[in-house]
């Protein structure tokens, strides 16, 4: 963001003020960048027929173990009948919490493509 033009960023709700987060906020304020803070239940509209459904983090189910990774954004990009699930930087404990959260409607988690978090391998 220091070297390119950024008009708007979307970040997950933060449950810890890390040094990197403080730096991000400083840049955002200096450059007057619009910020959207998202958490489960939010929908971010991109344009007609394209949107992100935010599935995680959830303020009611904060994971304190490795708080930054396990409460990172998990979003489902939907374009008509095609969707991609982006799993952020979550670890197994967050995966289990997400499955528990959506156990009554697992279709929410179905996608054509899943970007698996790097902690799984």
Assess whether pLDDT exceeds 70 at residue 31. yes
Neighbouring residues of 70: CB distance < 8 A, sequence distance ≥ 6: 63, 90, 91, 93, 94, 97
Q: Which two tokens stand for residue 99?
A: 């499955």
Mean pLDDT score of the chain, rounded to an integer? 93
Predicted confidence band of residue 119 (pLDDT cuts 50, 70, 90) = low
The pLDDT tens digits for 64-103 are: 999 999 999 999 999 999 999 999 999 999 999 999 999 9
C-alpha distances out from residue 77 to 42, 48, 83, Å: 12, 13, 5
For the chain, give the percent of residues with pLDDT over 90. Answer: 83
pLDDT confidence of residue 46: 94
Give the DSSP letter string of 97-119. HHHHHTTT-GGGG--SEEE--GG
Instruction: Report the DSSP beta bridge partners of residue 43.
Output: 53
Please state the domain extents for the chain: 40-120
Quick one: pLDDT at residue 120? 58
pLDDT at 14 over 60: yes
């Amino acid at each position: 963001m220091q070297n390119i033009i950024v008009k708007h960023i979307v970040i997950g709700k933060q449950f810890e003020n890390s040094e990197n987060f403080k730096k991000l906020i400083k840049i955002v304020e200096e450059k007057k960048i619009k910020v959207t803070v998202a958490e489960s239940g939010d929908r971010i509209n991109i344009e007609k027929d394209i949107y992100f459904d935010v599935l995680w983090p959830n303020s009611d189910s904060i994971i304190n173990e490795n708080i930054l990774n396990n409460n990172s954004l998990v979003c489902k990009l939907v374009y008509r009948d095609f969707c991609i699930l982006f799993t952020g930087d979550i670890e197994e404990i967050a995966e289990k919490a997400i499955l528990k959260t959506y156990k009554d409607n697992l279709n929410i988690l179905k996608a054509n493509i899943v970007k698996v978090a790097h902690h799984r391998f």
